[in-house]
Amino acid sequence: MTTAEKYVTAAYLVVLAAVLLYVVIYTFKLQRLERELAELAEAAQERRT
């Protein structure tokens, strides 16, 4: 693999890595939202009873 090929591949991999990182961060965000929603549902249930 030539130096140019390595750099070009690295540039494309950077974009791929950014997308994957975004998906991971977003997964954590969804988990947090789900947790908060469960807590609120529990609080609403307690208030009702």
Partner 1 sequence: MLALAAAALLLAGVSLAFYWAPEDADQGFSQRIFYIHVAVALTAYACFGWAAWKALRLLWKRDQRYDLESYTAVHIGVVFGVLTLVTGSIWAKISWGVWWSWGERQLVLFLVLFLFYSAYFMLRYSTEPGPRRASMSAVYALFGVVLIPISFLAIRLAENFIHPVVFTREGPQMSGSMFFTFLVCFAGTLALAGSLYANELLGKRLDERLKELREALA
Please report, as ranges, the residues that interact with partner 1 according to CB under 8 A: 2-5, 7-8, 10-12, 14-15, 18-19, 22, 26, 29-30, 33, 36-37, 40, 43-44, 47
CA distance 38 to 46: 12
Distance (Å, whole) CA 38 – CA 36 = 5
We find the least distance from the C-beta atom of residue 26 to partner 1, in angstroms, to be 7
Shortest gap between Cβ of 24 and partner 1 (angstroms)?
Answer: 13
Least Å distance between CB 35 and partner 1? 10
For residues 18 and 25, give the distance between their C-alpha atoms in angstroms, rounded to a whole number: 10
